[in-house]
C-alpha cells in the first residue's frame, strides 16, 4: 500500500523551475534515498512533501493511513541551531508538539514516548545536559529522537549525517536502518551514494537533465550506477596498494 504518491510534479522557487514531471510512489516500510548534485531540488522536494512549499504543477499525496501528525522530520542543521540553549530533554520533548497541538503541557504518554526514544538512541544520560554542549553526533541523535516523537509512520531526513565523522556517520546509518526494520518508512536526502546502495530499497536520483526512480538493483544497472560501482572498485584497489 502506498503511503506517498508524487504525480507529475514540477518544483522550483523564485520563478525558476528545477524539477519537471516527477513521478514516484513510496510504500509502507520502504527506505527511499534521494540523491543527486547540489541545486537539483532534493531539499525542495522534502519541504514540498511537508507542505512547506507548493509544487508549481502536479500533486503530492499521502495515503489514507498516514496523518500529518504521524510524520517526523529531521532537517539540515544550521550553525544557529547547533548553539540552541535548551536541555536535551526540552529538545526531544518538543517533538511531541506534533501531537499535543495547543495543549500547554505534555501528558504521561508523551513523556514516556520521549524517554523510550532517548533510550533507543542511547542518549538517556544526556537528559539534563545543554544541547549546545554536545558533540555533532550527539546532537544528531537528539534531533533524531525528537523526530521520532513525531513519527509513527514516516520519517523524512535531510542530510542527517552532514558534517559527522565516518564512525558517527556509520552509527547514524545503522540507527536509521534499524528504525526502518521496525516498520517506519524512511525518505532520506543524501549525498552518500555508497550508503544509498547499501541501505535503500528504492533510489530517486535527481539530475539536472534526467531523473531516475526505481529499486536499488535497477539503479545499479544504469550507466550512473555502473559508473559508481566502478569508482568504488578503483578506490578499493587504490587502498589495497597503499596498504602494501
Nearest to 120 by CA among 37, 41, 176: 176
Are residues 114 and 123 in contact, defined by beta-carbon separation less than 8 angstroms? no
CA 19/CA 21 separation, integer angstroms: 7
Q: What is the pLDDT of residue 55?
A: 93
Q: Is it the case that residue 150 has pLDDT exceeding 70? A: yes
Q: What is the pLDDT of residue 61?
A: 94
Work out the pLDDT band at 192, boundaries 50, 70, 90: confident
Q: What is the pLDDT of residue 223?
A: 86
Length of the chain: 244
The mean pLDDT of 72-90, rounded to a whole number, is 83
CA 34/CA 191 separation, integer angstroms: 8
Q: What is the pLDDT of residue 237?
A: 59
In the block, cell 539540515 appears at 76
Q: Is it the case that residue 10 has pLDDT exceeding 90? A: yes
Q: List, in sequence order, every beta strand (DSSP E) within the chain.
A: 2-13, 16-27, 31-36, 57-62, 71-74, 154-158, 185-189, 202-206, 211-215
Write out pLDDT tens, residues 35-76: 988 888 899 999 999 999 999 999 999 998 888 888 999 988
Work out the pLDDT band at 232, boundaries 50, 70, 90: low
CA 25/CA 228 separation, integer angstroms: 25
pTM: 0.87
Q: Is it the case that residue 96 has pLDDT exceeding 80? A: yes
Mean pLDDT over all residues of the chain?
Answer: 87
Amino acid at each position: 500500500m502506498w503511503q506517498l504518491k508524487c504525480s507529475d510534479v514540477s518544483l522550483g522557487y523564485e520563478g525558476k523551475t528545477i524539477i519537471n514531471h516527477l513521478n514516484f510512489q513510496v510504500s509502507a516500510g520502504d527506505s527511499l534515498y534521494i540523491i543527486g548534485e547540489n541545486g537539483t531540488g532534493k531539499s525542495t522536494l522534502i519541504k514540498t512533501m511537508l507542505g512547506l512549499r507548493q509544487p508549481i504543477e502536479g500533486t503530492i499525496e499521502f495515503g489514507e493511513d498516514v496523518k500529518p501528525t504521524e510524520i517526523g522530520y529531521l532537517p539540515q542543521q544550521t550553525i544557529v541551531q547547533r548553539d540552541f540553549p535548551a536541555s536535551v530533554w526540552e529538545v526531544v520533548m518538543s517533538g511531541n508538539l506534533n501531537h499535543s497541538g495547543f495543549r500547554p503541557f505534555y501528558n504521561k504518554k508523551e513523556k514516556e514516548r520521549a524517554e523510550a526514544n532517548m533510550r533507543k538512541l542511547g542518549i538517556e544520560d544526556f537528559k539534563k545536559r545543554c544541547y549546545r554542549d554536545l558533540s555533532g553526533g550527539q546532537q544528531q541523535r537528539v534531533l533524531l529522537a525528537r523526530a521520532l516523537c513525531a513519527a509513527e509512520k514516516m520519517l523524512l531526513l535531510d542530510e542527517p549525517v552532514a558534517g559527522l565523522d565516518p564512525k558517527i556517520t556509520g552509527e547514524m546509518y545503522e540507527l536509521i536502518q534499524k528504525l526502518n526494520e521496525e516498520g517506519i518508512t524512511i525518505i532520506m536526502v543524501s549525498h552518500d551514494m555508497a550508503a544509498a546502495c547499501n541501505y535503500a530499497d528504492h533510489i530517486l536520483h535527481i539530475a539536472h537533465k534526467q531523473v531516475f526512480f526505481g529499486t536499488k538493483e535497477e539503479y545499479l544497472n544504469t550507466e550512473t550506477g555502473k559508473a559508481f560501482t566502478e569508482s568504488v572498485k578503483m578506490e578499493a584497489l587504490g587502498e589495497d596498494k597503499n596498504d602494501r
